[in-house]
Amino acid sequence: MGARDAAQTGGATRRRAATLPRVADLMQREFIAVGSEEPLLEAQRTMKLARLRHLLVVEDGALVGMLSYRNLQDELLERAARQQGAAWLEILRGVPVRDVMISSPYYVRPDTPAAVAARRMLRLHLGCLPVCENGTGKLRLVGLLAESDLLRAAWK
């Protein structure tokens, strides 16, 4: 590669760096969320019908947790194993999402570079990250960045 080629390549790298996407460019602005008092079985039904692996838990527009399908299944099976007969289904109807959700989940801000968010998701083995802005002492949920959003951006 000659000096001219190197200069052109360097320029292309700089141009590309200037146009790297931010989380806000890729995130989903429409998402399904539930309250922390939502019965666990209803959350499971919502996740199954909407084909979701993660469900955001929100109170007054602020992110308070996240429920993964894996956490939900583990909890349902664990509670069912402790019960005899059909009583377990009745008990599960009274379990709120807050008992199973991940409190204080990892999140990103809309201005976070997408590459930083992707590295975080890989390092922490996360399928998605809530996107939040700081409000009046609360994290206001504004979107969701999922693995599929990053894949879609890489494919373009």
Please write the tens of the pLDDT for every residue from 82-135: 766 667 777 777 888 998 899 989 999 999 999 999 999 999 999 999 999 986
* Per-residue model confidence (pLDDT) at position 141: 92
What mean pLDDT comes out for the span 26-36?
Answer: 92
What token pair was written down for 120?
């975080």
* Per-residue model confidence (pLDDT) at position 2: 43
- Asked if 103 and 64 count as a contact pair (C-beta separation under 8 A), the reply is yes
* Per-residue model confidence (pLDDT) at position 84: 65
User: Could you count the other beta carbons within 10 Å of the beta carbon of residue 57?
Assistant: 27
Q: Does domain 20-155 correspond to CATH entry 3.40.50.300?
A: no
Q: Where are the domains of the chain?
A: 20-155
pTM: 0.73
* Per-residue model confidence (pLDDT) at position 13: 44
Residues forming beta bridges with residue 129, ordered by sequence position: 145
Q: Say if residue 54 is exposed, middle or buried (CB neighbours under 10 Å; 0-12, 13-18, 19+).
A: buried
* Per-residue model confidence (pLDDT) at position 25: 92
* Per-residue model confidence (pLDDT) at position 94: 82
What mean pLDDT comes out for the span 55-70?
Answer: 92
